[in-house]
Homo-oligomer: A and B are copies of this chain.
Amino acid sequence: MNIGVLGTGPVGQTIGTHLVSKGHIVMLGSRSTNNPTAVKWATENNSRQGTFSDAALFGDIVFNCSFGNASLEVVKLAGIQNLHNKILIDVANPLDFSMGMPPRLTICNDSSLGEEIQKILPGTKVVKALNTVNNEIMVNPGKINGGGAELFICGNDEEARATVTELLVQEFGWKRECVIDLGGIIHARSTEALLLFFISIAMKYGTFYTGIKVLKG
């Protein structure tokens, strides 16, 4: 499959490299073509790079791996038409560390980054996923407790959620029973708010290699 990745940071590179290893063709997108980080990655991975717009046009499925506080601008730069009718997997979190630890969220409670992206891209199937785990865990869930942590996904299009679930299971190695479909994109308020909790947990245990599992009575 052709995959577009918006963002050249650790998350975008990790997801890109992993999908290349699975036989997909990946284009990493950044603000400008020939971004040195993207060129280096593309050279090392025998892959492609371009602008956000190039990557959005290229991908059958597109990942938003930009910094959360840039994401609304990034998806506009990527192009509403380039993303039309496609699945956009939103991995970002609107974390703001500028006031120290713990960080705050720049969007929360009454909305979420996932919802705001969906508003900008009404013709795109936005699915929030993978935002609650460290990038190394995203592509290697077995690193936590043998793969027992759960992943929470949401989005307004049921078929798109099912497609993303398959991708997470088949290509990212998540156990099917560990991918929890919460329903509409409104639940991105919950899964983004989880980041506040995960940072408290990271401050306690000194590691971001954590996940959660819901236990039921």
A residues adjacent to B (C-beta < 8 A): 102, 104-105, 108-110, 137, 143-145, 148-149, 152, 154, 180-183, 186-187, 189-191, 193-194, 196-197, 199-201, 203-205, 207, 209-217
> How many of these chains are in the complex?
2
Q: Which of B102, B108, B190, B210 contacts A215 (CB 8 A)?
A: B210
Q: Are B200 and A182 in contact (CB under 8 A)?
A: yes
Q: Are A211 and B204 in contact (CB under 8 A)?
A: no
> Whose C-beta in chain B lies nearest to the C-beta of A203?
B183
Contacts of A108 in B (CB 8 A): 108-109, 193
Which 5 pairs of residues, A with B, have the shortest CB-CB distance? A209-B217, A190-B200, A145-B215, A190-B197, A193-B193
Q: Are A210 and B216 in contact (CB under 8 A)?
A: yes
Pick 17 A–B contacts, CB within 8 A, sort by A. Answer: A105-B109, A137-B217, A144-B215, A144-B217, A145-B215, A145-B217, A148-B215, A152-B200, A182-B201, A182-B203, A183-B203, A187-B200, A193-B196, A194-B194, A197-B197, A212-B212, A213-B213
Contacts of A199 in B (CB 8 A): 190
> Whose C-beta in chain B lies nearest to the C-beta of A145?
B215
**In the complex, how many angstroms separate the beta carbon of A44 from the nearest chain B beta carbon?**
26
Best-surrounded residue of A110, A152, A196 (most CB of chain B within 10 A) = A196
Q: How far is the CA of A209 from the CA of B216 in the complex (A)?
A: 6
Contacts of A216 in B (CB 8 A): 144-145, 205, 207, 209-210
Best-surrounded residue of A105, A145, A213 (most CB of chain B within 10 A) = A213
Contacts of A148 in B (CB 8 A): 215
Q: Are B102 and A110 in contact (CB under 8 A)?
A: no
> Whose C-beta in chain B lies nearest to the C-beta of A132?
B197
